[in-house]
Chain A
């Protein structure tokens, strides 16, 4: 029983298109990395399109502990790092000059 071979757990990451990152979707049991890729396709991509799959042995994933909340501790106020820390006040000032606040999506990406 002790040396009975068992399947290895592989965590599965799917990239749906080249513009998107690989996203974790779940895991599969497999005997080899090649099988894991096949099983991941059968298990997670019966309908959705994709361009790439990664499989990683579960034991190779280094992770934080959910209980270690200090690891993710934040200062009380992160507004100084955020768009919302500035845009409202700036927009109000621009209004004096009869100008709109430039918007990243509207003015840079889509224009």
Chain B
């Protein structure tokens, strides 16, 4: 079979809704783009745990400490699961797990724009759990039917646990919303801080990036950035309002005519800066991760060495 015939068979399978497996023939474009995507997802899970793990020792009660610790463990676990399948797909490209992990340090691999932001108060922990994870579940649930089988299967596990994270975040936010005026103010300040990041989260409405086009073409993803952002608004804005919180956007409203949420554009230049790792905490968090990776190098070496006395 020629590559052209293989490609046309592959596209037929994609259009039929078949799942592609790691050992199947696939065009390089599919492999390369998916490795990038899954690598970024895995790294984002790990980087996303960093702002939260800072809050584990500072959590207000033992119960909050336990639930936050569980969430941090889950995020690291998701990073491991996704890195593992990215590794299978990257092997034929001559890339190892170590490459996938360390490309973060050189800037060759990115992590999600939302994890370049500071989390200065306990309300930020709530916001991350409730709204950032809510946004993450909106975009991940849309990938459950992804054309790549191993990713779709891992996502089922990831999404089930994200469901817990959202409840954890809601629990934190609801407690603050029903608390003292200072707590309510803290929650409102948190929302003011995170709102723009939540808009940037989904990326620009009109995206012509090469990878986005490839991901759509091969039905790795099927929903546009704007469709996902609108879904997020529909799920979350009524709940934000019901707690008596105010969106930091006076023009935000439901447009009956267009059947769409209307919102003020965030400052997209901030996203451009983040993509170049020039966001508020980009360098700080990459440094944190690199230090941690270097400091645990001896553990990986120990795990790989055979005990002399037994061998």
Nearest-CB residue, chain A, relative to B149 = A66
Min CB gap A23→B, angstroms: 12
Which A residues lie within 8 Å of B97 (CB)? 6-7, 29
Which B residues lie within 8 Å of A42 (CB)? 77
Nearest-CB residue, chain A, relative to B306 = A32
Distance between Cα atoms of A27 and B81 in the complex (Å): 8
Q: A28-B84, A66-B21, A67-B25 are in contact. Are A46 and B303 (CB under 8 A)?
A: no
Does B247 interact with chain A (Cβ within 8 Å)? Answer: no
- A22-50 CB mask vs B (1 if < 8 Å, else 0) is 00001111111001000100111011000
Does B260 interact with chain A (Cβ within 8 Å)? Answer: no
Distance between Cα atoms of A35 and B74 in the complex (Å): 19
Evaluate contact between A66 and B23: CB separation under 8 angstroms: yes
Distance between Cα atoms of A70 and B64 in the complex (Å): 55
Does B167 interact with chain A (Cβ within 8 Å)? Answer: no
**A and B contact pairs by CB, cutoff 8 A, 29 listed:** A5-B304, A5-B305, A6-B96, A6-B98, A6-B304, A7-B304, A9-B84, A9-B88, A26-B81, A26-B153, A26-B157, A27-B85, A28-B80, A28-B84, A29-B97, A31-B304, A35-B303, A39-B80, A42-B77, A43-B81, A44-B157, A46-B73, A46-B77, A47-B161, A63-B23, A65-B23, A66-B21, A66-B23, A66-B24
Beyond A26-B153, A43-B81, A46-B73, 5 extra complex contacts between A and B, CB < 8 Å: A9-B84, A9-B87, A63-B23, A67-B24, A67-B25
Distance between Cα atoms of A26 and B85 in the complex (Å): 9
Q: A6-B96, A46-B73 are in contact. Are A29 and B84 (CB under 8 A)?
A: yes
Could you say which of B21, B154, B305 contacts A26, with CB atoms under 8 Å apart?
A: B154
Evaluate contact between A27 and B304: CB separation under 8 angstroms: no
Min CB gap A47→B, angstroms: 8
Which B residues lie within 8 Å of A5 (CB)? 304-305
Which A residues lie within 8 Å of B81 (CB)? 26, 43
Interface size class, chain A: 20 to 34
Distance between Cα atoms of A43 and B96 in the complex (Å): 20
Which A residues lie within 8 Å of B157 (CB)? 26, 44
Which B residues lie within 8 Å of A63 (CB)? 23
Per the 8 Å Cβ criterion, residues 57-110 of A in contact with B are: 63, 65-67
Interface residue count for B (Cβ, 8 Å)? 24
Which B residues lie within 8 Å of A30 (CB)? 303
Evaluate contact between B23 and A46: CB separation under 8 angstroms: no
Which B residues lie within 8 Å of A47 (CB)? 161
Min CB gap A46→B, angstroms: 7
Distance between Cα atoms of A76 and B73 in the complex (Å): 49
Distance between Cα atoms of A32 and B157 in the complex (Å): 25
Does B175 interact with chain A (Cβ within 8 Å)? Answer: no
Nearest-CB residue, chain A, relative to B160 = A47
Nearest-CB residue, chain A, relative to B18 = A66
Which A residues lie within 8 Å of B153 (CB)? 26
Min CB gap A45→B, angstroms: 10
Per the 8 Å Cβ criterion, residues 60-91 of B in contact with A are: 70, 73-74, 77, 80-81, 84-85, 87-88
Min CB gap B25→A, angstroms: 7
- B19-34 CB mask vs A (1 if < 8 Å, else 0) is 0010111000000000
Taking each of B77, B153, B303, B305, which has the highest tally of chain A beta carbons within 10 Å of its own beta carbon?
B303
Evaluate contact between A46 and B74: CB separation under 8 angstroms: yes
Evaluate contact between A27 and B21: CB separation under 8 angstroms: no
Per the 8 Å Cβ criterion, residues 90-149 of B in contact with A are: 96-98
Q: A5-B304, A43-B81, A65-B23 are in contact. Are A29 and B73 (CB under 8 A)?
A: no
Distance between Cα atoms of A46 and B304 in the complex (Å): 25
Which B residues lie within 8 Å of A31 (CB)? 303-305
Nearest-CB residue, chain B, relative to A27 = B84
Distance between Cα atoms of A8 and B87 in the complex (Å): 12
Min CB gap A68→B, angstroms: 11
